[in-house]
Amino acid sequence: MSHRYPAGALALALLCPMIATAASDEELARIRNEIRELRQGYEARLQALEQRLKDAEARAVPAPRVAPTSTPAASAAPMTPGPSNAFNPAISAILTGTYAHLKRDPAAFRIPGFAPEGELGPGRRSFSLGESELVFSASVDPHFDATLIAAITPEDAVEVEEAYGRWLGAPLGLVPKFGRFRSGIGYLNEQHAHAQDFVDPPLPYQAFLGNHYTTDGAQVRWVAPTETFIELGAEAGNGDAYPGAERTRNGMGASAVFAHAGGDVGASHSWRAGLSHLRTRSSLEGHERTIVTDDGLVTVFDFSGAPASRLTIADFVWKYAPQGISPGTSFKLQGEYFAGRIREAARQSGWYLQGVWQFLPQWRAGLRHDRLDAGGIDDVAHAPRRSSAMVEFNPSEFSRWRLQFSRAELAPGESDNQWFLQYTLSLGAHGAHRY
């Protein structure tokens, strides 16, 4: 076992060459004796503790080691594996609920120019229960760990959001993942709703990914052994999830690649930037194309076949915390740009920019603006946009209350003032959120 010595002893040892130039032989001898006494005392105490540990282990009944909690918001570093057949999962739960006051009927929610699917829109009016998440994670054996995240919807349905394993001993520093998981594309995609800074995801995530993109398949990550953070990743999946479409053919239905880089700027600033590309099969077969005329809406069926869908995402995050810690104040600026292309349709794009300021240890406030540039599906000369402001109170790291106001202008002549009051409660230990 390697020994660590007190910081004071090590500091004195490093200073000895400097002292020698000015100190007498008697002074040097005295300093060396003090260092020797400190080292001997430390080693004696360490040996006594090690012997007590061995005695306790000899008397105790062997117990399984509990693996650290791992969630989709945790870092990509592998967990410490436990012994085989010692499955003792870490369990946690996330509870959320919202009160919404909406000007327009949420049942009529739509984003002209886009054909998203999934649970979109601001949700129902009045009180509503959000999705509750159950997270199970553990080391399976010295070679693999596993995570299961199940969502219980307000309609009392249970859905498997993520269920994946990771190979811990892969060569060359690779981290393979397999099963169902949130893709590594973009910045927010891997973050579940309770880890995000606003009640709802930005418009580009709703329009291009149906809130988020999850795939059944395999992923591999690699982090370069450099001082600057560099991460590369690739994925292959079945492509069933939006913006893809279910297919009955063999082989790969979707693929993705991503690269991230980041680092520190001084002691108080850090950054991360990324570029991602997703290629899948579009789900626009038989989609209704709407055309706005003076007499109202005329619909025609314009799409056939299964056109390929390509999406590129550029993301950037900048964080500030005095001297690298944020017990009282911090600031985060983040933004992402989406560029999509669907065969037989024009290019589409969107972006959002947001800033969140922690002005007191338990209080944060934020602003966000998101916008879409429609084209190719609906002939609507309009750019859907929305502006949001939020303030939140965090009594502890396990609870949060958030008030948010949004003004959305998604269709010509349509605006919606939206008020939300949301709570989030976390039960049990959970992993740290990603950068």
Q: Are 244 and 309 in contact (CB under 8 A)?
A: yes
Q: What is the DSSP pairing of strand 363-373 with strand 348-360?
A: antiparallel
Indicate the CATH number of 98-122+168-427 among 2.40.160.10, 1.25.40.80, 3.10.290.10, 3.30.70.3290: 2.40.160.10
How does pLDDT run across 66-76, given as a tens digit for each residue?
Answer: 333 333 333 33
What integer pLDDT is reported at residue 204 of this predicted model? 93
CA distance 129 to 329: 31
Q: Find the helix or strand (DSSP H, E) in which 389 lies.
A: strand 385-396
What integer pLDDT is reported at residue 303 of this predicted model? 43
What integer pLDDT is reported at residue 114 of this predicted model? 73
Quick check: bond before 78 cis, omega within 30?
A: no
What integer pLDDT is reported at residue 2 of this predicted model? 45
Exposed, middle or buried: residue 255 (CB in 10 Å: 0-12, 13-18, 19+)?
A: middle
Q: Are 422 and 399 in contact (CB under 8 A)?
A: no
Residue type, 201: P
CA distance 428 to 94: 9
How does pLDDT run across 267-289, given as a tens digit for each residue?
Answer: 899 999 999 999 987 655 545 55
Residues facing residue 51 across a β-bridge: none
What integer pLDDT is reported at residue 59 of this predicted model? 58
Q: Where are the domains of the chain?
A: 7-59, 98-122+168-427
Closest CA to 134 of 184, 189, 94: 94
Sequence length of the chain is: 435
Residues of the chain where predicted confidence (pLDDT) is lower than 70: 1-24, 40-44, 50-51, 54-87, 115-119, 282-308, 326, 342-346, 375-381, 430-433
Q: Are 91 and 134 in contact (CB under 8 A)?
A: yes
CA distance 68 to 92: 12
What integer pLDDT is reported at residue 343 of this predicted model? 57
What integer pLDDT is reported at residue 57 of this predicted model? 61
CA distance 324 to 223: 22
What integer pLDDT is reported at residue 318 of this predicted model? 97
What integer pLDDT is reported at residue 296 of this predicted model? 52
- Give the single-character DSSP code of 84: T
Q: What is the value of pTM for the model shown?
A: 0.75
What integer pLDDT is reported at residue 259 of this predicted model? 98
What integer pLDDT is reported at residue 76 of this predicted model? 38
What integer pLDDT is reported at residue 252 of this predicted model? 85
402 conformational bin, left if phi > 0, alpha if psi -120 to 50, beta if neither: beta
